[in-house]
Amino acid sequence: MPSKFVTPTFSNETTQGSLPLVEGTIGPAAVDIQTLFTNHGILAFDPGFRSTASCKSAITFVDGDNGVLLYRGYPIEELAEHASFTEVVYLLMHGELPVNDQLSGFKKDLLYYSLLHDQVMSFYRGFRRDAHPMAVMVGVVGALSAFYHDSMDTQNPEDRQRAAIRLIAKMPMLAAASYTYSIGRPQRYPNSQLDYASNFLQMMFGLPYREYVVDPVLARAFDVILILHADHEQNASTSTVRLAASSGANPFACVAAGIASLWGPAHGGANEAVLKMLHEIGSVENIPKALARAKDKSDSFRLMGFGHRIYKNFDPRSRVIQVQAKKVLEHLGIDDPLLEIAMRLEEIALQDEYFVERKLYPNVDFYSGILLRAMGFPTNMFTAVFALARTTGWVSHWLELQGENHGIDRPRQLYVGSPRRSYPSKS
Ligand code: SDX
């Protein structure tokens, strides 16, 4: 893209200058500050990275003011309506939707690598049965970095593609096993007749002594959940994966770091926290009290599933999930009081000045828990489902980063500690 010099300059008693402006395909321009420290000896200060573009990326674009999310240019609403998750995986990894026999070949690859090495299953036994599934997933995915050393040369494009496929292909059995282990149920294996979403559901809920019958409404709803959660630009967990990958670390270890970051309640852990919050509110009558707590700065309570660093409008994903949640609840004949509380909470909050002023809207996590609960997922599996979907985004960014050569990511800091001082003499 053409670079224009930015007219605003900076200066202090020792230096002054102006910096080039760089622009992407769409979205805000950026001031290129790469030479700021080397040429002028000063740093840019941006804790929380609210104004910082950490990299160039062609994978996903979010327009927070207008509630737009594009995967390789395709609007998330259209992909949720027309695509399968496997198509979206191919799109995010390769940049284009699969054509001709590319999709069937890709599905074969995913199935070929979908089994977990039998020794991996022994890692689960090291965990207490009541371990949180995300703790188990961090551990087991990290342990996968002890395997496959015969094909883990990240400088080799074939090894990179194989590692990417292995991670995406193995995550369904690995995530399902973090649940079946906790309830002492034997783990089922992938079924070659089922697609990615249905295979996960059968490994998650299937019993060893009878055939698992796929419910097409639930399978499609879960496919949409995977699509919606697959990627989201440089969110905290994806940035974690990129930072780890920049040192050349093993891709399985990088994704384990991403799982750890996603687990936080401010990030992917919010879907589990939303359900707990809705249970805590308990009834529509208690909503005003909950909103008062969310606005009270002396109270650490936040409206989980509300607000977003980038979306200052509706998160387009929350709208799609709400529709799927209603469809599944109706299909299953479930009248979930939590859905009524959630919808009423959204309605009241969006008329409340505190939320309107701060542009706090429901995000992807606000309704996802209600949908997952209706499908039979225990609350502590909600973030594991998010990690299952987001593995595609993490892997796609890992692949994209391999093509860059900006070296290891190593942020600087503004030092506010003690000036140099000497160790006190012991006289
Ligand atoms: C995800 O980054 C991504 O893309 C993430 C994600 C993805 O797909 O990867 O979209 C997935 O993580 C969604 C977000 C899930 N988290 C939650 O739902 C947790 C609840 N939300 C908040 O913790 C918060 O909104 C964040 C963490 C999501 C965003 O925080 P920011 O951008 O740092 O916002 P902030 O803390 O600067 O808030 C600005 C103001 C503050 O009030 P003031 O100091 O201006 O008076 O809004 C308030 C905040 O106190 N605020 C909230 C609030 N979120 C922000 N007040 C009450 N409840 C909330 N949820």
Question: Can you tell me whether residue 43 is helix, strand or coil?
Answer: coil
Read off the pTM.
0.95
pLDDT in tens, 155-187: 899 999 999 999 999 999 999 999 999 999 999
Residue nearest to atom 48 of ligand 1 (CA): 358
313-345 as b/e: b if 16+ CB within 10 A = eebbbbebbbebbbbbbeeeeeebebbebbbeb
Q: Is 267 in the pocket of ligand 1 (CB under 6 A)?
A: yes
Q: Is 304 in the pocket of ligand 1 (CB under 6 A)?
A: yes
Question: Can you tell me whether residue 285 is helix, strand or coil?
Answer: helix
Question: Can you tell me whether residue 156 is helix, strand or coil?
Answer: coil
118 is catalytic: no
**Quick check: 85 pLDDT over 90?**
yes
Residue nearest to atom 24 of ligand 1 (CA): 307
Q: Which of 61, 89, 65, 85 is nearest to 74 (CA)?
A: 61
According to DSSP, the β-strands at 68-71 and 60-63 are antiparallel
Instruction: Give the pLDDT of residue 2.
Output: 46
Q: What percent of the chain has pLDDT over 90?
A: 91
Ligand 1 mean position to 305 CA, how many Å? 8
Q: At what angle do helices 157-180 and 102-112 cross, to 10 degrees?
A: 60
pLDDT in tens, 182-223: 999 999 999 999 999 999 999 999 999 999 999 999 999 999
Q: 425: exposed, middle or buried (C-beta count within 10 Å: 0-12, 13-18, 19+)?
A: exposed
Residue nearest to atom 43 of ligand 1 (CA): 358
What letter represents residue 15's amino acid?
T
Whether residue 323 contacts residue 77, with contact meaning beta carbons closer than 8 Å, is answered with no
Q: Is 290 in the pocket of ligand 1 (CB under 6 A)?
A: no
The average confidence (pLDDT) of the chain is 94
Rg (CA), the chain: 23
Name the pLDDT band for 1 (thresholds 50, 70, 90).
Answer: very low
The predicted model gives 317-335 an average pLDDT of 96
Q: Is 232 in the pocket of ligand 1 (CB under 6 A)?
A: yes
Instruction: Give the pLDDT of residue 153.
Output: 83
The predicted model gives 312-317 an average pLDDT of 94
Ligand 1 mean position to 316 CA, how many Å? 16
C-alpha distances in Å from residue 392, one per residue of 32, 147, 275, 318, 329: 29, 20, 25, 20, 28
